[in-house]
Structure 1
Amino acid sequence: MTHKTVLITGASGGFGKAFTKRFLQEGYQVIATVRNEDKKSIVLDGLSEEQLKRLSFVLLDVTDEQSIVQFQVFLRKINRIDILINNAGFAVAGFTEELTISEYKMQFDTNFFGVIRVTNAVLPLMRSQGFGRIINISSISGLIGFPALSPYASSKHALEGYSESLRLEVKSFGIDVILIEPGSFQTNIWSSGTYLSKKAGHPNSPYKSLFSSMNERMLAESQRYGDPFLVANLVVSIATSNKTPSLRYTVGKGVKLSLFVKHLLPWKIWERLVLRQLNGKGKR
């Protein structure tokens, strides 16, 4: 392959589709992974004939060991991978008391262990070629915990620690590890594409009031969520830069301010502010 190559997991998702299109626009050879054949049409929408020539698909379920084995077989046929974007992921939403351990395991199996499986499969190739950039799509939830998202926030916090350690391990091989930490980008934790606990919002739930106030707030703010292509543009700029990338990049409206305030304020004041915004009970 004469073009630089990027491998994108979860290519049919909002970010994944944006990443695919932007890297094709930059002239990359794009390997897009999807969980099933039906997802291909989502990725293909809006692409030019020339771009389609540089796009290839691989079926991959990051939670399935046999699928990973087949993925490793595919990788043996590849000459190079310049960029790996670990994007496959989803959110488990619900209140901690009402969630099961199985639901937490399901969350980690994709968002955390899935990243490790794919990265371990790609690392031998990157080490042998002596270069590469691994871009892990984290979240502001990897830095700030939010109610009703403890499985998701926990998985992203774990991804942050894993990426920091991995970066130090592979630096000497010419490989950089980067974390992208987006805020809210046209997603809603209660909407489709998110696993919502069956007990969340139940009339008998002790968290019914909090659920309702959070849901109303998120629906009201959803129109202000950012365009996924803002994140895609950032990722492309990191991938194509000749400079050594930093470990962390935050992106999204209000993200940097939120992180600054959280680190600046004592926890009691931060807690009061968050609760006040969520349900007006922050003065307790």
Structure 2
Amino acid sequence: MHPPIEAGPARPVVLITGAAGGFGWRACLHFAKSGYRVVAAMRDMTKPSPLMEEAEKWGIQSLIHPVEMDVTRPEQIERCIAQILDAYGRIDVLVNNAGFALGGYAEEVSLQDWRRQMDTNFFGMVAVTQAVLPVMRTAGSGTVINVSSVSGRIGLPGYAPYSASKHAMEGFSESLRLEMLPYGVRVVLVEPGSYRTAIWQKGFDQISIAGDSPYHHRMETVLNHSRRTFDQSADPMEVAKLIVRVAQKKRPKLRYPIGRDARMLLIAKTLLPWKWLEKLVNSVLK
């Protein structure tokens, strides 16, 4: 059991899941810099994270409280929300950022891995949101920011599990936004393209391609293309700053795509006939 969150002067409170890495710890820094009290939820606090070291450099460590919370464990979610409410009595912003990326051609990804992908990226996100909504609904205000992906708008070969989990998040968010608008709660999707975060390297490391796989050549091509895109990708601090800006808007839009590749893919999907898009993707993978 971790010590209770220390109470303090009234400030807006944000809960960020997946705060140990990726966009999560960067968003924690920018929220704290903007004057929020940040509850940084991490699945495993024994693993190294740059969060508190960077927070100390920024002089904002007193505004950030790391807590252990695995989004797939209801008892940890319940305990975390109770701690926050005991200390502050409010949750103004929820950033659903916890997630990971699984790849592989759909036929060869085990059902166990499919379930593992959905448990974290989708069902875990739903569970945390359900726990926070009563707080926001009672207060008549609040913002839920779901960190999706351009993969939630267009599915690409080799990443069906990840894309499916993000498509599910997109549909959930659309419905939830309409449900919660009458109660003063705003629901927003942030949709990054490729950024230099560990999620992709971890995803690459988890993909194993059997030598006799009928998809071997194409999966290798997908991975090579993904690595080139990753090497050329932008600074993830861009996404963290956007998340904070969205949280501060009175009337945020539903969707905020970010990243050059994200915008290009969405424009292509909007303007091109699907058959043309198919030809374009297949030409890249030859």
Per the normalisation by structure 2, the TM-score is 0.91
Q: Secondary structure at the match of 1:74?
A: helix
Task: Read off the aligned partner of 1:277 and give its amino acid letter.
Answer: V
Equivalent position of 2:5 in the other structure: none
1:13 pairs, out of 21, 29, 54, with: 21
Deviations 1:214-247 (A, max 9, x none): 22222223221111111111111111123x0000
Q: Which residue of 2 aligns with 1:88?
A: 98
* Aligned residue among 36, 56, 69 for 1:60: 69
Matched residues, number: 276
The runs of 4+ residues in structure 1 deviating greater than 4 Å are 187-190
SS of the residue aligned with 1:214? helix
CA deviation map 1:184-234 (0-9, x unaligned): 00147762256724xx32211111101222222222232211111111111
Distance change (3 Å), C-alpha of 1:127 and 1:188: closer
Identity across aligned pairs (percent)?
Answer: 41
* In the alignment, structure 1 residue 264 sits paired with structure 2 residue 274: no
What residue is the counterpart of 2:6 in the other structure? none
Q: CA RMSD in A?
A: 1.8
Q: 1:31 to 1:193 in 2, by over 3 A?
A: farther
Structure 2 Cα separation of the partners of residues 189 and 138 of structure 1: 13
The one of 147, 155, 159 aligned to 1:145: 155
* Conservation of the 8 A alpha-carbon contact between 2:221 and 2:285: yes
Q: Which residue of 2 aligns with 1:174?
A: 184
Secondary structure of residue in 2 paired with 1:47? helix
CA drift at 1:64: 1.3
Tell me which moved more, 108-117 or 215-224: 215-224
Q: SS at 1:112's partner residue?
A: helix
1:72 to 1:221, Cα distance in 2 relative to 1, 3 A: closer
Q: Distance in 1 between matches of 2:76 and 2:204?
A: 23
Whole-Å separation in 1 of the counterparts to 2:151 and 2:229: 17
- Structure 1 letter corresponding to 2:162: Y
Question: TM-score scaled by structure 1?
Answer: 0.91
Q: Tell me the alpha carbon deviations over residues 20-42 of structure 1, each in whole angstroms, 9 at most, x when there is no partner.
A: 11111111111100112224643
Maintained 8 Å contact 1:188/1:218: no
Residue 254 of structure 1 is matched in structure 2 by 261
Deviations 1:57-106 (A, max 9, x none): 22100011222232343244131111100000001111111112221111
Q: Which runs of 5 or more structure 1 residues have no equivalent in the other structure? A: 280-284
SS in 1 for 2:46: helix
